[in-house]
Structure 1
Amino acid sequence: MKITIITSRYPSSNNPYNHMFVHMRSVEFLKQEVEVEVYVPSNIESSYIHEGVKVYKMPSKSIAKLLKKKEIIYLHLLNIYPFSKADGWPIYKRILRENTPFAMYVHGSEVQKFTARMFDFNYSLDTFLRWIKKDLLVIPKMKRFVRETKGRDNCKYIFPSIWMKEELETNLDQKLENFEIIPNGIDTNLFRFNDSYENRYKLLTLRPLSSKKYAVDIAIETMKYLPKEFTLHIYGKGHLQSKYQKQIDDAKLSKRVTIKNEFIDRSEMNEFFTKYGIFLSPTRMDAQGVTMCEAMASGLLVASNNNTAIPEFIEDNYNGLLSNDSKSLAQKILKITENIEPFKLVIYNGRRSMEKISIDKTVSNEIKSLEAIIQ
């Protein structure tokens, strides 16, 4: 079997984080002796090899013409950009017209209405235009695509969580029968377990500062209810940084809460995690929370919100902590850090939970799912 992945972005030596979660699959496909190639809709044509993976960039209409010759198409965040050569819609249309075998891994943004993320809504012209584009141009096309393919024997929809599957059904008003739940795989070889109890008062938040979805404000709010020995480092970049800094200053937390305006290289993350004891990862919406899962694999105690898909990966006081109230979450953190045994039990359970979705296992399941489509 040869898998043809089509995605709107892909890593390169200059941009190593573009849809890294897609590249991780490609590398694992190769490890499991499955051929893979990647196509990226683009205004210009070029090609390169990234860590053994062949990547082709070309206009989406050119990609669409090649589909008939491909064995199985695997769609990952193939976005619709009206009036652009990088628009994914010609590819979707060709799949419809030619009855092309495909699987679509649904990550979220490609099927969610703009109004599904009202926490980022404001009354600016830019927001209004994005709402018009998403809900009135993109979503009707995605609804048509799902409606016309969901009954086919030669296609499958794959989701990281049950919540994400239900989110597609709600946003597109379509009921799916032919689907699978396969979480994004965690590289448990890269993210090795380290006992984090001695660093239990050192909290870490690793989030983009570009959307309220990532709930950095809730992380800061949680610190108000923790005693002075607890510190929080917030790593990330984005236009909300000044707003979060003001929240820190207003709460008189500047001596204990620090924003670090930088990203951590993925290859260095496991070593970086060893400096901390707790990964504070609140959220307003998440289909899985991959970085959260990587922190769990590394032995950090993860504290998050009991919403969206998070409870599918964290069971409160078993392999992490869950609460939707900042004060309650702080109280749970305070309680579990008082004694070594419950803390260690939770982080060991967290590691074991992540071993169940290690990338070799999840990709193996994806391969089986793709093979079933073309048999």
Structure 2
Amino acid sequence: MKILLLCEAYPTPQNLYAMSFVHSRAIEYVRAGHTVSVLSFSTDRDYVFEGVKILTNKSAATKRNFDVVMAHAPNIRHHLRFLAGFESLPLVLFIHGHEVLWVNRYYPRPFGFDRGATETLTRAVRTIYDPLKLSLLRAFCKRQVATTRPLGFVFVSEWMRREAIACNPWMGLKEGWHSTVIPNAVNTAFLDSFYEPAPEFMADFVCIRPFDNPKYAVDVVAKWATMIPHKRFHIYGNGRYFDENPPPPNVHIFKQFIAQRDIPALLNNYRACVMPTRLDSQGVMMCEMASYGIPLFTSDTDVTRQMLGGFDNVRFVAPGMNPAALLDQIPQVLHSDEPVRRRFDARVLAARELAFAEGLLAFRPRSPL
């Protein structure tokens, strides 16, 4: 197949991690023998990155020799406008979260120090923008189906599909024929190597999170630390949270970004990871840590259960549970040959995505949404 991938941003030599989960797919599609071009709405020049051709909006609009279009997190401003000119091609929409949800309903409010007039205005704008966003997405999809364009949805988790349909009931009218659940793959660094505990640990627990986004719950990590003062915690990331909320004595803060390729070696210096969450459509970093084999503690949610159920090295902390006793019992390290380690293997997941796209090539909708 000749595949056109659409995304808001894409890695460059200067920014290696911009929507890198799209790049990992492109690499696997190429390895499987397909021709891949990427439209990045953030670039103003064509370039090649690790063998993948990236196009500007203008360059992509002049080409018509694709077999299928795959759009990640489609938005009104860029994706839908561009796709209006490609109505004859099969289309796969990859749904990652905010693009199909009522954001104010799902996403936690900022921490207190981050609230103010700007945040209040943002929430007010969202009350207007989200109905418009969902209405335009529905109209776009209805138009595609009415013109007999094959249309499919890929959700990164069953929770994501369920909540997307709750916010957009029309997505469920044809449930089964046009949607599938395929999670994002983990970085190969977490599968090519395996957790090897260091002779001496730097601390008991490690957490790697952006500090100031409340959905990543670094405040919960600090709370857990106060309950087990005899254990030491290291938290890596950036943000103001711990400037405004000094951590307990057994928590050390490292204000730094850790490159993905360097995380496995870092994890070897700790007994376990603590990665609570308030909201995740999948939680890719948790999946990477669990696949690497290190013991992991996370929140007990539908998403974490779906993603990490069956990993013997993972423990789930239920709401209201006192985590002190649980964190005192470190689970076993995952065996390196456990089949569950391949759950998020990019090659396996890319093959499923390609099969779904190929299935659309022979599909024609029978009725409008």
* Compared CA separation, residues 258 and 200, structure 1 to 2 (3 A): closer
Say which of 135, 144, 162 aligns to 2:139.
144
For 2:70 and 2:139, locate their aligned partners in 1 and report how far apart those are by CA, in whole Å.
18
Query: Which is further off, 21-30 or 191-200?
Result: 191-200
Equivalents in 1 of 2:336, 2:159: separation in Å?
23
1:105 to 64, 82, 94: 94
Q: Distance in 2 between matches of 1:208 and 1:103?
A: 30
Tell me the residue number matched to 2:70. 74
Partners of 1:163 and 1:207 lie apart in 2 by: 22
Which segment is superposed worse, 7-16 or 130-139?
Answer: 130-139
SS at match of 1:313: helix
**How much has 1:272 moved relative to structure 2?**
1.5
Partner of 1:84: none
**C-alpha deviations, 1:185-235, integer Å up to 9, x for none?**
12455442224497596211111123111111111111122241x221111
Contact 1:296/1:302, CA 8 A, preserved across alignment: yes
1:216-272 C-alpha deviation (Å, 9 max, x unpaired): 1111111122241x22111112344434x33x2xxxx1x321221111112212112
Q: Contact 1:278–1:303 (CA<8 Å) still a contact in 2?
A: yes
The answer to whether the 8 Å contact 2:313/2:332 transfers is: no
How high is the TM-score relative to the length of structure 1?
0.84
Q: Identity over aligned residues, as a percent?
A: 23
| Pairing 1:89-238 to 2, within 5 Å after superposition | 89-95=80-86, 98-120=87-109, 124-125=117-118, 126-128=121-123, 130-132=125-127, 134-149=129-144, 154-174=150-170, 175=172, 176-177=175-176, 178-188=178-188, 190-191=190-191, 192-196=193-197, 199=201, 202-228=204-230, 230-238=231-239
- Tell me the secondary structure at the aligned position of residue 234 of structure 1: strand
The residue number in structure 1 matching 2:243 is 242
Report the equivalent of 1:49. 48
Deviations 1:39-69 (A, max 9, x none): 0124x7311111111111235xx74564x44
Asked if the contact 2:74–2:93 (Cα under 8 Å) also holds between the matched residues in 1, the reply is: no
Deviation at 1:80, TM superposition (A): 2.9
Q: Distance in 2 between matches of 1:239 and 1:189?
A: 29
CA shift, 1:170, in A, is 1.3
Under a length normalisation based on structure 2, what TM-score does the superposition of the two structures give?
Answer: 0.85
Q: Quick check: 2:310–2:340 contact (8 Å CA) kept in 1?
A: no
Q: Deviations over 1:71-92 (max 9, x none)?
A: 10011123334xxxxx333124
Contact 1:5–1:75, Cα closer than 8 Å, also in 2: yes
Taking a change above 3 Å as real, the CA distance of residues 129 and 242 of structure 1, as seen in their structure-2 partners, is farther
2:281 aligned to 284, 287, 296, which one? 287
The one-letter amino acid paired with 2:159 is W
In structure 1, C-alpha distance between the alignment counterparts of 2:299 and 2:267, rounded to whole Å: 21
Q: Which amino acid aligns with 1:154?
A: P
Gap runs ≥5 in structure 2: 363-369
Q: Name the amino acid aligned to 2:117.
A: S
Contact 2:194–2:336 under 8 Å retained in 1: no
Structure 1 residues 81-130: Cα deviation after superposition (integer angstroms, max 9, x where no partner)? 4xxxxx333124335xx243111111112111222334126563442354
- Code of the residue aligned with 2:355 in structure 1: it is K
Assess, with a 3 A threshold, how the Cα gap between structure 1 residues 153 and 328 changes in structure 2: closer, same or farther.
Answer: farther
- 1:330 counterpart residue number: 324
The aligned residue for residue 366 of structure 2 is: none
CA–CA separation in structure 1 for the residues paired with 2:23 and 2:282: 18
Change (3 A) 1:278 1:200: farther
Q: 1:265 to 1:213 in 2, by over 3 A?
A: same
Report the alpha carbon displacement of residue 27 of structure 1 after superposing the two structures with TM: 1.3
Distance 2:145 2:278 in 1: 29
What residue number does 2:257 align with? 263
Aligned to 2:349: 362
Give how far 1:355 is off: 1.3
SS in 2 for 1:120: coil
SS in 2 for 1:186: coil
C-alpha distance 221-39 of structure 1, shift in aligned 2 (>3 A): same
Q: Which digits, 9 at most, give the CA deviation of each residue in 1:17-46, with x for residues without a partner? A: 10011111111222222211100124x731
Q: CA RMSD in A?
A: 2.7
Report the CA distance shift for 1:118/1:290 in structure 2 as closer, same or farther (over 3 A).
closer
**Cα-to-partner distance string for 1:315-362 (whole Å, 9 max, x where unaligned):** 388341112337533321212x3xxxx523xx3399642313311111
- Tell me if structure 2 keeps the 8 A contact 1:322–1:329: no
Find 1:321's aligned residue among 312, 315, 321: 315
Q: 1:197 and 1:348 mapped to 2: Cα distance?
A: 17
Query: 3-state SS of the aligned residue for 1:366?
Result: helix
Q: Shift in Å at residue 145 of structure 1?
A: 3.0
Equivalent residue, structure 1, for 2:23: 23
What amino acid is aligned across from residue 44 of structure 2 in structure 1?
E
Amino acid at match of 1:34: H
Q: Which runs of 5 or more residues in structure 1 are unaligned?
A: 82-86
Equivalences, count: 349
